[in-house]
Amino acid sequence: MKKRLASILLACAVGAGTALALAGCVEQRDYDFSIWVPFKSNAVGQYDEHIVFQKLEELTGLKVKFVHDDLTNVNNVFARGTYCDVMILNDSYPNFTGTYPGGIEKGIADGKIVDISDRMEEHAPNYSALVASDPAVKQGTVLDDGRLTAFYEVANKESDSWYGYMMREDWLKEIGYTVDGSKTGEVKIPQTYADWEEVLQGFKDAGLSSTPFFLYSQGVDPFNAISAGYGVTFDFQLDSTGKVNYGPYMEEFEDYLSMMNSWYEKGFISKEYAASKEYVPITDAVGGTNTDGSYKEAKYGAFTQMYIYMTQYEETAKALGNEEYSLVAVPNPKQNAEDEIHIRQKASRTGNYAVITDKCPDDMIDKVIEWFDYLYSAEGSLLMSYGIEGDTYTLDENGNAHYTEKVTESETLSPSDAVKKYSVQGFPCFYDIDREKQVTNEKEQSAMKTWTEGCDADWVLPVTSLTAEEGSEYADTMDEIEDVVLDYIFDYITGAEHAAFAEFRAELEELGIKEMISMKQSSLDRYNARLSK
């Protein structure tokens, strides 16, 4: 039962998967350098056809070969030696799924990642100045010893939470879950797990859905919204003592599993939930079309998704014939109404990052660094954030950028896809996070506030670095631990025969979970000390 959280996260963040491109970086060169890109949007297509990167080629005179692949294929690419001159990676996925096996430091020690730290001040002045001037950016971009070895995607400020639970607002009205108890009044917003059970049972009793709650194959959603009320996650986290712990190893995790088992027994959760390897399929969240052309009702009444999909889902349902379809954002549920929650999706200031590998010709390394550094200049940031001036954006008298109607009023693309097509997301650069507000409506922005203001993210562990030695041990140990955890979660939720939770914890200890917790604590301590470097 090997299941990987990264595959779920990737589906939300970048849309459709792509065919493997393992051999793309080893052919004869007709380009200056190659970049391995771990995503591809159907709306965007190949990056060498993207207007922003075409403009970059015009400005820099450098031709870039882009190789699109799947983030979960990173390990294969490095193992087979088919990686590119530049690799776009991400450390936030479990067990080095999205980065060099063992982490950046191990990649440098293995000679596969180039240590460019001694070149950055001279050849990347824009990026170096940004890192030096902003403590939050510095903490998220340098290694524990202070070296700057990668170009990170950097937001100009922290955003609200962009991910959380949605419920069918029209279904809530249908069951009378409203302030005045009518089917037309303002809906109440469920706050506790007991409230959720009332709602989910109501959806079933009304015949709206036989299994109204969408549960991911891991038994908890990617950002731990459903388990947050129990103070646990699927991964390493901080606990009430402020120390690092591992969610499935914590005693509170059994309480969460017990509740999920009860929801499974009550029929809230599909018996095939373990087959769900992606975010909720759009047909299950929105509905579809029957063979006679009539509307086919959606399967779920409660599911997680990014805020940008709220309007898109509503409009899709209406196009299919369901004029009543509507969604409402709901906060992470609590055990008691007065409880405080310290876990939610947290939008880090730093995201995907680029490293230069030993595949890059020596005489190109400085040019590659300078190419990336332009993306952190004022002009480069505008290009990446908004596209082409006069075409996809204009500047007002105060120098603020505004998308043109080509982006905001596209007849063929959703607002989120239009942003991807005419500007760039997920690529290392310095970008304006407020651009998103230009293509979102009040309801979507309200959803972000609902997910943010309902709790904080104090127990969410930041992305930390392991040493080369730690990285090797961690990857092997956690791969085995995660397999055991996934099997146990599945058996517990479905009511299959399983060991007592105390025995499960003992097995994790035998596999080395305490050592891994200690290792992550050490990495957090080093992370917290980065600002003094």
Residue 458 CA: distances (Å) to CA of 240, 252, 261, 305: 10, 17, 28, 22
Question: How would you classify the pairing of strands 430-431 and 401-403?
Answer: unpaired
Same domain (yes/no): 135, 176: no
Q: Is residue 37 part of a domain?
A: yes
Whether residue 34 is predicted with pLDDT greater than 50 in this model: the reply is yes
What are 456-486's pLDDT values in tens digits? Answer: 999 999 888 888 888 878 888 998 999 999 9
**Amino acid, res. 161:** S
Same domain (yes/no): 194, 218: yes
Same domain (yes/no): 170, 152: no
Span 77-82, average pLDDT: 94
Whether residue 3 is predicted with pLDDT greater than 70 in this model: the reply is no
Residue 56 CA: distances (Å) to CA of 242, 387, 388, 458: 45, 11, 11, 39
Q: Is residue 453 part of a domain?
A: no
Span 187-211, average pLDDT: 97
* Tokens at 483, concatenated: 């397999």
The pLDDT mean for the chain works out to 91
Same domain (yes/no): 129, 248: no
Taking the whole predicted model, whether its pTM rises above 0.85 is answered as: no
Q: Is residue 393 part of a domain?
A: yes
Range of the domain at 91: 5-158+348-431
Please report which confidence band the pLDDT of residue 389 belongs to, taking 50, 70 and 90 as the band edges.
very high
Q: Cβ atoms within 10 A of the Cβ of 404, count?
A: 17
d(CA 145, CA 118): 13
> What pLDDT score was predicted for residue 2?
39
Same domain (yes/no): 150, 168: no
> What pLDDT score was predicted for residue 347?
78
Please report which confidence band the pLDDT of residue 381 belongs to, taking 50, 70 and 90 as the band edges.
very high
Same domain (yes/no): 414, 357: yes
Where would I find the H helices in 375-432?
378-386, 405-408, 415-422
Give 152's contacts (C-beta < 8 A, 6+ positions apart): 137, 140, 141, 350, 351, 352, 353, 428
Same domain (yes/no): 366, 405: yes
Where does a domain end: 295, 330, 365? 330
Same domain (yes/no): 183, 325: yes
Rg of the chain, C-alpha, whole Å:
24
Residue of 218 and 86 predicted with greater confidence: 86
d(CA 527, CA 518): 14
Cα 82 to the chain's mean position, in Å? Answer: 26
> What pLDDT score was predicted for residue 277?
66
What are 317-345's pLDDT values in tens digits? Answer: 999 999 999 999 999 999 999 999 999 99
Same domain (yes/no): 170, 149: no
Would you say 273 and 217 are in contact if contact means Cβ atoms under 8 Å apart?
Answer: yes
Number of domains into which the chain is organized: 3
> What pLDDT score was predicted for residue 1?
42
What are 396-444's pLDDT values in tens digits? Answer: 999 999 999 999 998 888 888 888 899 999 999 999 998 988 988 899 9
> Does an H or E element contain 245, and which?
strand 244-246
Residue 377 CA: distances (Å) to CA of 53, 349, 351: 16, 17, 18
CATH of the domain at 386: 3.40.190.10
